[in-house]
Amino acid sequence: MDEINRNTDIEEEEISNDIPSSSVGQSAEDYSADNIQVLEGLEAVRKRPGMYIGTTSERGLHHLVYEIVDNAIDEALAGFCDHIEVEILEGDIIRVSDNGRGIPVGIQPQTGKPAVEVVYTVLHAGGKFGGGGYKVSGGLHGVGASVVNALSEWLRVEVRDGKEHYMMEFKRGNVTRPLTVLGATDRRGTTVTFKPDPIMFDTTVFNYETLEIRLREQAFLNAGLRITLTDSRPGMEQTSVMHYEGGIRSFVEHLNRNKTAIIDEPIYMSGSRAGSVAEVAMQYTDGYNEQIISFANNINTPEGGMHETGFKTALTRVLNDYGKRFNLLKGEEKLSGEDTREGLCAVISVKLEDPQFEGQTKTKLGNSEIRVLVDSLLGEKLEQFLEENPTVAKTIIEKCISANRAREAARKARDLTRRKSALEGMRLPGKLVDCNERDASLTEIFIVEGDSAGGSAKDGRDPKYQAILPLWGKMLNVEKARLDRVYGNDKLTPVILALGCGIGDECDVSALRYGKVIIMADADVDGSHIRTLLLTFFFRFMRPLIDNGNIYIAQPPLYKITHGKKYRYAYDDAERDQILSEIYAASPNARPDIGRNKGLGEMNPVELWETTMDPAVRVLKKVRLEDATRADEIFTILMGEKVEPRREFIEKNAKYVVNLDV
C-alpha cells in the first residue's frame, strides 16, 4: 500500500509537457528545429526512467535486479549457465554473478568499442536481435543492461572468459574505467555490481522477500537452475538456495501448499512446434478462486495474452467434450470457461524466438501463433490424460458441474437483488448517506465500521463530494464462499449496491459511482479484521477496482497530544515521540496529556474531519497490487480453511506488529 502525503490525497507524480522553458509563451509559428531536443547516450533513460522500468518507486528499484538476473537466465536458457548468485551488500549495493560464457569483450565492428562497453552504454544493443547469440531471451531486448547502468550511481562489470579476468566501471552511465585486464583465470561468467542512484529512486533499500519471491519463480521456470540469494547487510544476514528439478510442476505444488488439492499431483503437459515450446502444469483445489500465472521467455505476463487465451479455450472445450462423451454432463448442460477454472491453479510457460510484448515492461503477450500452439497442445495432451485417468477426470468434471450450479444460483440471486431494488424504487442501500456531486472522479465513499462512527462521519463530512456507508455486524469471509453466497449476504449487498459497478465477471470500473473507495475502521484488532475482510472481498470479487487504484485505507491518528490549550495528533509512535520532544524542548517542565484513540466512534464530527477525512491533512493509504501471486497466497493463509499455515504466519510476523490493542 502506498502512503499518501498528508497534504494531498493523490499520489505525487512528475508532470511535464516536454516543452523547453525557453519556448514558454511562443506562438505556434515560432515552432522550429530549435525546439527539437536530442538526448545523447543514456540521457533519455535518466530523463524519463518510467518509460524503461515503469516506476521509480520500490517496484522500479527491484526491477533493476530483475534485468541483470534476466540476462544471466538468458545464458541458462542457451544452455551455458546453471548457477546464478544474487547478493545484497551493505550500502544498498547489489551483486549478480553467473557461470555463463561471459559478455563478449572483443571490439564491436559498428562502434569500434569493446562489446561489453556497448552493451552497457548503448540502448538496443545486445545479442538478442537475430545475431545468433540467443534463440530465446527475456530482458528488455538489449535495453536492460544499459538502463540499469544509466540509473546507477556506479556500476562495475567483471567478465571471465576462461582465459582473462576483465573489469570495467561506470558512473551514471558514463565510463570511468575502461576495459582492463585484471589477470588470468580459468573461470567463465559475468559479475555485475551496482548501486542504484538515490537521485533517481524514491528509495534504494532492497527488500529480501521481494527478491526471493521473484528469484524462486525463475528457479521454478528453469528446471535444474540453481539460484542463490544472500543478504549480507549487518543484522539482516540470511541465504536462500532455490533449485527445483520438477520445474513448473513444483511451482504449482508450491502455490497450492496452503490449499487442499482434489487431485493428488499436478497435470503436466509440454510440446513444441516451429522453434516454440509450451509447458502447462495444472492442479485443482477445493477452493473457489482461479489462479493462472503465465510466462513468456521467463517473463511474467500478468495481463495474460495469447498463451492464456489458448489455454482457456482448450480447457473449456476438452472438459465439455469429455463430459458429454462419458455422460457426465446431462442433456443441455454445458460448462462455461469460469466453471472449468474454479479452484484451478495453473502455470503456463512458453518460450519463443520473437516474442511480441505489449508495453515496454512486458505485461501481455501478443503472438497469435502461440495461442494455436497452446490450444492444440493442451487439447491433445489433456484429452489423452483424462482418458487414461478416468477417476481424476470424474473428480474434475464434478468440481466444474458444482461450480456451474453455484454460478446459476448466483445469477438468480443477482437477478432477485435487481428486481427487489427495482420494486422498491431504488438501487441504493438505506443506510447510505450519499454526496451531492455526480461526477464520480470527484467523489469518495467512506465505508465505516459501526453506526456510531458512521454518525460522526456523516456529520463531519463535506456533503458535496463525500458519501458515508456504515457497516454493522459480522461480515462474510468471502475466501470461503462462492458468488451466490456473496449476493445473498446482507452485510455485503449494501457495498455492492452503493458502488454500482457489479462484482465477479460483471465488475466494470467505468460504472463505479465514486472515484475513491475508502475503508475507515478503528485502529485496533477488530478494525484490522474488518479491513482484512473488506480487502479480501475487493481482491476476490472486485479486483479491477484495486488494479485501477480506487481502493484506499483511511489512517485515523493513534494519539491526541494536548499541551495547555493546544493539541496535535500523531499517526504513529515515531510522530508521537517527535511531537513530545518538541514540546519538552520548548518547555522542560511541560506535562503534556497523551490520549490514545481507541475508536472512530469516540471522535466527535469535528475531530474525525480534521484528522481522518479532510483532504488537506488526512493520511490515506492507496491499496496497490505489487505481486498478485503473493497477494493470493496471503489471503489464502489469513482467510482460508487451513489453520496451520495461519498459525505459522502469525508466529513469523508477530514481531513486526506495533500499536496492538487487544
Distances in whole angstroms, Cα of residue 622 to Cα of each of 7, 357, 535, 610: 15, 28, 12, 20
Question: Per the structure block, which three cell numbers stand in for 590?
Answer: 511541560
**Amino acid at the residue 212:** E
Catalytic option among 303, 524, 572, 614: 524
* Catalytic pick among 58, 74, 75, 449: 449
CA distance readout (Å), 399 to 335, 526, 542: 11, 35, 24
Residues 544 and 87: their CA atoms lie apart, in Å, by 36
Q: Crossing angle for the helix pair 628-639 and 208-221, nearest 10 degrees?
A: 110
Is residue 524 annotated as a catalytic residue, yes or no?
Answer: yes
* Residue 115 neighbours by CB distance under 10 Å: 20
Do residues 275 and 46 lie in contact, with contact meaning Cβ atoms separated by under 8 Å? no
Most distant CA pair in the chain: distance in Å?
87
Rounded to the nearest 5 degrees, what angle is found at the Cα of 356, between the Cα atoms of 354 and 362?
A: 120
DSSP-derived letter for residue 5 is: P
Cell reading at 298:
521467463
Q: How many residues does the chain have?
A: 662
Active site residue 98: no
Q: Do the Cβ atoms of 494 and 473 come closer than 8 Å?
A: no
Provide φ and ψ at 644, rounded to 5°.
-60, -45
Q: What is the CA radius of gyration of the chain?
A: 28
Contact partners, residue 507, CB within 8 Å, separation at least 6: 501, 541, 542, 543, 544, 545
CA gap 594, 615 in Å, rounded: 25
Whole-angstrom Cα distance, residue 296 to residue 436? 48
- The CA angle 506-349-208, to the nearest 5 degrees, is 90
Separation of alpha carbons 355 and 370, rounded Å: 9
State the Cα–Cα distance between residues 375 and 344, nearest whole angstrom: 17
CA distances from 547 to 164, 225, 304, 543, 602 (A): 49, 33, 14, 6, 34
- Catalytic residue, chosen from 197, 375, 522, 607, is 522
Distance between CA atoms of 125 and 123, rounded to whole angstroms?
A: 6
Question: Active site includes 82?
Answer: no
Q: Is 449 a catalytic residue?
A: yes
Whether the CB-CB separation of 73 and 222 falls below 8 Å is answered with: yes
Q: Judge contact between 100 and 188, C-beta under 8 A.
A: yes
Distance CA 494, CA 483 (A): 15
Q: Give me the catalytic one of 338, 526, 575, 614.
A: 526
Cα 56 to chain centroid distance, Å, stands at: 15
**C-alpha cell belonging to residue 106:** 572483443
Catalytic residues: 449, 522, 524, 526
